[in-house]
Structure formats: structure tokens, C-alpha cells
Amino acid sequence: MTVREIYDTMAYGAAPESAADAYAWLVDQGDRFGHFIDGVFTDPGEGFESRNPATGEVLATLTQATAEDVEESVAAARKAQGRWERLGGPGRARHLYALARLLQKHARLFAVLETLDNGKPIREARDIDVPLAQRHFYFHAGLAQLLESERPGQQALGVCGQVIPWNFPLLMLSWKVAPALAAGNTVVLKPAEWTSLTALLFADICRQAGLPKGVVNIVTGDGEVGEMIVAHEGIDKVAFTGSTAVGRRIREVTAGQGKGLTLELGGKSPYVVFDDADLDSAVEGLVDAIWFNQGQVCCAGSRLLVQEGVAERFHDKLRHRMANLRMGNPLDKCIDIGAMVDPVQRDRVAEMVAACDSGQTYRADIDTPQTGAFYPPTLITGLSPADPLMQEEIFGPVLVGTTFRTPAEAVQLANNIRYGLAASVWSENLNLALDVAPKLAAGVVWINGTNMFDAAAPFGGVRESGFGREGGWEGLSAYLKPAGQPKKLKPLEPFPGNGDPEPGIDRTPKLYIGGKQARPDGGYSRAIHARSGKLLGQVPIANRKDIRNAVEAARGASAWSATPGHSRAQILYYMAENLSARTDDFASRINAQTGARTGKREVEAAITRLFSYAAWADKFDGQAHGVPLRGMALAMREPVGVIGVICPDEAPLLGLISMIGPAMAMGNRAVLLASEPFPLSALEFVQILETSDVPGGVVNILTGSHAELAPHLAGHADVDAVWSFSSSDISGEVERASAGNLKRTWVNNGHARDWFAPEAEGRAFLEQATEVKTVWVPYGE
Ligand code: NAI
């Protein structure tokens, strides 16, 4: 091209980044990699090739881990864990800091290797992936430093099994490894089979940083290796990022193993443009939302919702912008769109798009390389909300969209999806944007921005986008547990009867559904006896239909979630007051059921606990996180929604209150299965609910067999989370049944709790009763 032509076309010349150092590093390693176990690289074994998706060139050969490799890596991590934790927060902080420094020193090598292996534009690897990975290690060095003073009484979980995807190989590694190490855990990590090279370079960095051997272990291989890791009994916590299908599989495989689990899964995030938005900024935002990393981003703004009045103008501007995107050699610093991760992924996207026969498809007429896994930026407008492309994650550079008329319709369309990872809202009217943000079912909301990330700002989803948060103190808590050894909980059996009739008037407690006492659907009751064998009463046996009715009632009581904390507190105080007026009644009923003499103490503890949660109702606030961008990340605490609760069997009243208290205080509605052997106190508590202005449907109480009912409750698609504190061994069933809609679970794993202890209330419960929604707002300069 002549200079004159360049002036005429204003075309960019190529500005390729040199890949010489990255190739030299690969050659240094012999182009064949083993695993990184116990501080050394193992000899390469049978494996597979890792290719540059932009050219098809083989970059290296990787080893497919065997069961023995996984065994060895878990054993190495186990051996290293105690000493690593005992180094203490400040000791570990030094190591994390050293890793951050080395990532910084080798920033360009990491960026180039990432681009070679993944196909992403060097501009992104250099300016986003690698700096964010460094920031993650620096930030978590800080959390480790402060851990002991800020989170007293907490300890590491142990050995973490971490499986990551191919879209942000180094960044996802840092999101997993940094918090795990900061909290005192050790790690076995498996990178995705298409993109393992920067993880292996990171292993090299761990060696250089003098990280104690066994603290970080990296094994390579496919999904089978991933499954061996997550299922391994030596793993205490699993952290996964990837597809929803694999997340569900991991939930099933780990059910009942007593492991911690966080899942960061797929998304189909709405990108909402109101008619008063700065349209040019919103178009520019879209480039980052859907064409960043070729759309292979879990939180990509992949569903465009534009207000009708500006839709045409907006689509025109967008098409114009698309025609100016540059696609090509990912190592060229001037290009916007690189290669997709692998031809397989490109073909998957192409097939999905080819199957769509509605809407209008626009593809920019831009140069598309003839070889390599390239796919042109694509816009499909005029789809209906139910179209498969509006519902399914495409995970490619394909934007689909429709229009809306009113803010209410925008919210409804945005939420009409099984996912709930992120959302972007564009409007120059901050009143409108801040009104819409809380209504969106998403773990992250960006206002007049998109795809912003920071180590201080929690990230994660709701619904089938998974559970758990990464980043900030909020994310760190997924790598910690209360210090001390838990005791085993023995199953509590009901007392058998001796045939003595019940003295006095026959009392017939009923189920409590939607604010009304209800007979059980099945028409069966069960006799409850005192330790002496004397009959104390008959309680209904709930069935699946009763569960459905109760969940429906709880769903209908959504106004509770919007009730201000102050008003919720008033009702909790009122409950405490009314319970206090009937202390003796409740106390003697507890004594009669349990055969112990702790009734009075239990009622008093229950009253105090209600007071505590009334106090918390307007005080368990979110946090405003400072982020190094022109904005602020508000980590809001939102109610989870409808929580299914299997109450503790022991402490029939205090156990119930320990569940109702945090659930109600944070604005949730609950469906509770009362203590199985001692259910009378829960049903009697209905009278307190009825006289304390608790709106119908907020609390629903059922009685019956935990083992039979829990799977129905945990499997119900309209339940958002399940807590199980039953003394029967049902944690596994609950976790397994929860996999359907990937609801959050909190189970006791057969461990006992002292319900009278101060640890049986407070922050840990409130965290379970809330979701963190991170709202990024423009703030300051
Ligand atoms: P994937 O979910 O299969 O792979 C992610 C990771 O999980 C890889 O390391 C893989 O080896 C591992 N894995 C696979 N099966 C496993 C199992 N049974 N147990 C444990 N680990 C297992 O993602 P894939 O197949 O590469 O992509 C398919 C679709 O998933 C994409 O088109 C996209 O829609 C979605 N996806 C979403 C991601 C996200 O960040 N939300 C990331 C990657 C893919």
C-alpha cells in the first residue's frame, strides 16, 4: 500500500507483536509438557496437542492426566496444606505478593502466550487479562495480610479442586488460585484442554517465586480429568467456571461428599438501552460487551434490548460500527476481533446461527481470514423472546436482540431467561437506571458500562448461572470455614407410644400455608409421644402437593422482599414480644416433647434470637467497593428469594427460630419442614405468626418425614435455595435434588451444632440468606 492510499483509506497498517519470547519459552520446555505436581514438572506422558486457533499451528503437546497423576497431586496438596496455613496470613501474603510481582515482570510473555494459545487479540490479553490477573494476586496478598484480624475464628477449608474454562485461561486461574491461597488452602487446578499454556507458565512462576512445593499443583487433561478431581475424596472444596451443563454434573457428582462448592456458569446477559441513553457510548459499550474476546465471555452482553423509539437509529449506528471492526491476526495490536478458541467452538456457533430462521441477520462486510477459527461479528435483530437464540448461550461474536416499550417491559424481558449472571443498563437518567438495577435477576449490573471487573468487586450469578462469588471479602468467604472440629450429629428418633391417651382437650395442629392453617393433602396424621410414651398430639403428614402449595404461597408473598428492613424488624420484634407472653406454654410443650428440662431456656434463647435478627434486619448492609475505574462497585445484599428449610430436629423451637430469623430479616420467604421427632412447637408457633402481622406466605410450615419431603423441596424449580439441618443423613439427597435448577444449598453434612451457642446466629446465617448483587455505578472522575 502506498502512502497516498493510506491517506485515502485511513486504513491501519499491521502492528504485529513479536512472539519470539513465547516460542523461546515453549522451546525451553521441550514443547512437551507434563504436569506440575509437588513443585516439579513431571515427565510428559500420553497426551494431546495445543494449537494456535488463528493458524492451526501446534504450539505444544500436553499430557492427559491419569488417575495416578490426580492422586499424586491431591496427596501433594494435602501434605503441603497444614504448613501453608500455619505460615499465617502475613506469611502467605508475601508469597502472593511475589507471584503478583513475577506476573508483572513477565507480563508481555504471558500476554503473547495467551494470545497464541487462545486466539484473543493481543490488545485484550495485554491490557485486560494480564493486568487483572496481577491485580487479583496483589489484592489477595492484601486480604491474606488482614485475614486474621478481619476474619477471626475462621480457618482454611483444606485442598481445593479447581477447574477452569478456556475463555480467560490466566485470569480464571488467578480468580481461583489467589483467594484459595490467601485463605490458607492448597490447590489442584486443571486448565481447559484447549488453553493450558499460561497455567503451565504460571507453574514456572510459582517455582521462581519459591512457593512451597505442593501448594499449587496443575494437572492437564480433558473433562474426564476434571471429573476425577472434583469427585476425589481428598478434595475439600470445588470451584468451577464453565458451562451450565458441566456445572450441573459437578453438583451431582459432589452431592453428599461434604465439599464446599462454587459454580460460575453460563449467561445470556441483557444489554438494555433506554431511549435517553447516550447512544454512541452505548454502541461503543456493545463492542466491549459482545465482541470482547469474540463473545466468548460468560457475562457477555449478548441480548440486546433497545427501547422502540430509538431502535432503528441505534441499530444503524451499530451496523456502522460493526463495519469498522477489524478482524485478523490476534498478535496484531490494531485488531479488534481475533480467532475463536478452536474450530470446534466456531462450528458450534455457526450451527446455532444457521438454525435460526427468524429475525434479520447482519454481518459486517469486513476482511475475514480464510484460515483459522474466525467468525465474523453478527447481529440478529427482531427476534421474539422465546426464540432459541434469545434463550441459549451462543458464546461467540453473535448479538441477538429485540425491542421494548416501557421500563417494566425491559425488566420483564431481561429476566425472562434461566440465567442470571450480569446485565448492562444504559440511560442518562440515573433515576431510571437505579430503579431498574435492583429489579434485574443478575449477580452483576453495570450502569452505563459493561464487562468491568476488579478483584475488589464480587462477581457471580444467580439462577442457572451458578452460585458463590469471586472477588472481594465476599469471595474469600467461600474458601474459609469456622475454626474447630465439628461433632457428629446423631439421628434423633421420635419416642414410641405406650398406648396412654392424651389428657385434656384434643388439639389438632395443622400445616401452615399461605397464612392459613391447612389440612394435609394426603389426609394422614402421625402420633407424637412424650419420652414416657404418653400421646402428646397428632401432627399432619405433608406430601408433595403440600410442598407445591407452600412454595406457591411463598412465591406469591414477594412483596415481603421489597419491605424495608425497618418494617421487617418491627415484625420480628412483635414476634419476640408475643412469644415472650407465652413463654411457659411453649416451655412446657418443649419439655413434654424432648423429655428434657431445657424448655424455658430454649424459649428465652428463641426470644433473644428474634431480637437479634430484628436488630440485623436493617443493618446487614452491602459494601461500597472502591475500584480502579471511573466508578464504584456497590455490593448490595439482596434476599435470595424462596428458601426451603429442613429444620434442625433438636431444639424444636430454637432450631425453627434460628432458620426463620435470618430468612425473614433479610426479606426471604420460607417453606420450613419442622423438626421431625418434635414437630409440635413449630405448629404452635403458627399462633405467634398469626398474631404478629407476618404477611401470609412469608413463613410456611409443614410437618412430615424429612427424608421423604426434602428431595421434593430441594428439587422444586421455584425454590431458590435449600438449607438442611436435619439430623437424618439427607445432605446428599438435598444436594443431588438441587442440581435441577442449580439452587444454592447449605447443609449440615451430618455435623452437630449447638443451637444455644452465639455461633448459631449472625453473619454466617445472614450471608446464606442473601445474594450479593454488584452494581457498578459511575462515580467521581
Ligand atoms: P466446559 O464446561 O465443558 O469446560 C470447562 C472446563 O470444565 C474445562 O476445563 C473442561 O475440561 C472441564 N470439564 C468438562 N467436563 C467436566 C466434568 N464432567 N467434570 C469436571 N470438569 C469438566 O465448556 P466447553 O465444552 O468447553 O464449552 C461448551 C459451552 O460452555 C460453550 O459454548 C459455552 O456456552 C459454555 N462455556 C461457558 C463458560 C463460562 O465462563 N460461563 C466457559 C466455557 C464454556
Q: Cα(240) to centroid of ligand 1, in Å?
A: 9
What does the alpha-carbon distance between residue 671 and residue 562 come to, in Å, rounded to a whole number? 18
Q: What is the pLDDT of residues 405-440, one digit of tens each?
A: 999 999 999 999 999 999 999 999 999 999 999 999
Name which of 517, 559, 520, 446 is nearest 686 in CA terms: 517
What does the alpha-carbon distance between residue 360 and residue 355 come to, in Å, rounded to a whole number? 13
pLDDT value at residue 44:
97
Whose Cα sits closest to atom 42 in ligand 1? Answer: 242
Q: Cα(377) to centroid of ligand 1, in Å?
A: 23
Q: Cα(25) to centroid of ligand 1, in Å?
A: 28
Q: What is the pLDDT of residues 136-168, one digit of tens each?
A: 999 999 999 999 999 999 999 999 999 999 999
Mean pLDDT lowest for which of 197-211, 266-280, 487-501, 542-556? 487-501
Name which of 399, 165, 157 is nearest 292 in CA terms: 399
Beta-bridge mates of residue 778 = 631
Query: Which amino acids are annotated catalytic?
Result: 264
Whose Cα sits closest to atom 8 in ligand 1? Answer: 192
ipTM for the whole complex? 0.96
The more confidently predicted of residues 388 and 12 is 388
Do residues 701 and 511 touch, judged by C-beta distance below 8 A? yes
Q: What is the pLDDT of residues 180-228, one digit of tens each?
A: 999 999 999 999 999 999 999 999 999 999 999 999 999 999 999 999 9
Q: Cα(555) to centroid of ligand 1, in Å?
A: 32
Contacts of 131 by beta carbon, 8 Å cutoff, 6+ apart: 107
Q: Which residues line ligand 1 (CB under 6 A)?
A: 163-167, 190, 192-193, 222-223, 226-227, 230, 241-243, 246, 249-250, 265-266, 298, 348, 393, 395
Mean pLDDT lowest for which of 59-68, 309-318, 499-508? 499-508
Phi, psi of 672, rounded to the nearest 5 degrees: -115, 135
Beta-bridge mates of residue 646 = 673, 724
Instruction: State the alpha helices, DSSP H only, in 386-491.
Output: 388-391, 407-415, 430-436, 472-476
Q: Cα(244) to centroid of ligand 1, in Å?
A: 8
Whose Cα sits closest to atom 35 in ligand 1? Answer: 243
Using a pLDDT cut of 70, give the percent of the chain over it.
Answer: 99
Cα–Cα distances (Å) from 454 to 79, 126, 145, 478, in that order, read: 32, 16, 19, 18
Q: Where are the domains of the chain?
A: 19-51+61-265+475-480, 270-457, 499-620+639-751
Using a pLDDT cut of 90, give the percent of the chain over it.
Answer: 95
- Pocket probe for ligand 1: among 50, 70, 162, 163, the residue whose CB has the most ligand atoms within 8 Å is 163
Q: What is the pLDDT of residues 663-681, one digit of tens each?
A: 999 999 999 999 999 999 9
pLDDT value at residue 82:
98
pLDDT band at 607 (very low <50, low <70, confident <90, very high): very high
C-alpha cell at 286: 456493545
Q: What is the pLDDT of residues 473-523, one digit of tens each?
A: 999 999 999 999 999 999 999 999 987 776 665 668 999 999 999 999 999
Ligand 1 atom showing the smallest separation from residue 193 Cα = 11
Whose Cα sits closest to atom 13 in ligand 1? Answer: 223
Mean pLDDT lowest for which of 65-79, 355-369, 682-696? 355-369
Ligand 1 atom showing the smallest separation from residue 393 Cα = 34
Burial 180-195 (b: 16+ CB within 10 A, else e): bbbbbbbbbbbbbbbb
Q: Cα(561) to centroid of ligand 1, in Å?
A: 34
Ligand 1 atom showing the smallest separation from residue 264 Cα = 41
Q: What is the arithmetic mean of pLDDT over 719-733?
A: 97
In terms of C-beta density within 10 A (0-12 exposed, 13-18 middle, 19 or more buried), how is residue 618 classed? middle
Name which of 547, 570, 586 is nearest 695 in CA terms: 570
- Pocket probe for ligand 1: among 166, 167, 246, the residue whose CB has the most ligand atoms within 8 Å is 246
Ligand 1 atom showing the smallest separation from residue 192 Cα = 9
What does the alpha-carbon distance between residue 462 and residue 772 come to, in Å, rounded to a whole number? 9
Task: Quote the Cα angle for 439-443-447, to 5°.
Answer: 65
C-alpha cell at 173: 486461574
Whose Cα sits closest to atom 9 in ligand 1? Answer: 192
Q: What is the arithmetic mean of pLDDT over 11-17?
A: 84
Do you know the residue count of the chain? 781
Would you give the DSSP letter of residue 775? E
What is the CATH number that goes with domain 270-457? 3.40.309.10
Would you give the DSSP letter of residue 154? E
Whose Cα sits closest to atom 43 in ligand 1? Answer: 242
In 3-state terms, the chain is what percent helix, strand and coil (to 5)?
45, 20, 40
Whose Cα sits closest to atom 25 in ligand 1? Answer: 243
What does the alpha-carbon distance between residue 190 and residue 591 come to, in Å, rounded to a whole number? 54
Whose Cα sits closest to atom 11 in ligand 1? Answer: 223
Q: Cα(243) to centroid of ligand 1, in Å?
A: 4
Whose Cα sits closest to atom 32 in ligand 1? Answer: 395
Residue reference for cell 483467594: 179
Q: Cα(518) to centroid of ligand 1, in Å?
A: 46
Q: Cα(694) to centroid of ligand 1, in Å?
A: 44
Q: What is the arithmetic mean of pLDDT over 316-343?
A: 97
Asked, colleague to colleague, whether 19-51+61-265+475-480 and 499-620+639-751 share their fold, the answer is yes
Q: Identify the helix (H) or strand (E) that includes residue 310.
A: helix 308-323
Whose Cα sits closest to atom 28 in ligand 1? Answer: 243
Ligand 1 atom showing the smallest separation from residue 345 Cα = 32
Whose Cα sits closest to atom 30 in ligand 1? Answer: 243
Do residues 641 and 721 touch, judged by C-beta distance below 8 A? yes
Domain formed by 499-620+639-751, architecture: 3-Layer(aba) Sandwich (3.40)
Give domain 19-51+61-265+475-480's CATH number out of 3.40.50.1370, 3.90.78.10, 3.10.180.10, 3.40.605.10: 3.40.605.10
Q: Cα(245) to centroid of ligand 1, in Å?
A: 8
Q: Cα(351) to centroid of ligand 1, in Å?
A: 18
Phi, psi of 328, rounded to the nearest 5 degrees: 165, -155
pLDDT band at 239 (very low <50, low <70, confident <90, very high): very high
Ligand 1 atom showing the smallest separation from residue 230 Cα = 20
Q: What is the pLDDT of residues 622-655, one digit of tens each?
A: 999 999 888 899 999 999 999 999 999 999 999 9
What does the alpha-carbon distance between residue 94 and residue 99 come to, in Å, rounded to a whole number? 9
Mean pLDDT, the chain, whole residue set? 96
Ligand 1 atom showing the smallest separation from residue 229 Cα = 20
pLDDT value at residue 385:
95
Both ends of the chain: CA-CA distance in Å? 42
pLDDT value at residue 502:
66
- Pocket probe for ligand 1: among 243, 352, 398, the residue whose CB has the most ligand atoms within 8 Å is 243
Judged against a pLDDT cut of 80, whether residue 382 lies above it is answered with yes
Ligand 1 atom showing the smallest separation from residue 163 Cα = 9
Task: Indicate the SS3 state at residue 37.
Answer: strand
Name which of 294, 285, 349 is nearest 318 in CA terms: 285
Q: What secondary structure does DSSP assign to 602-618, as a single string? A: HHHHHHHHHHHHHHHTT
Q: What is the arithmetic mean of pLDDT over 701-712?
A: 98
Ligand 1 atom showing the smallest separation from residue 222 Cα = 11
Do residues 446 and 269 touch, judged by C-beta distance below 8 A? no
Name which of 641, 643, 577 is nearest 614 in CA terms: 577
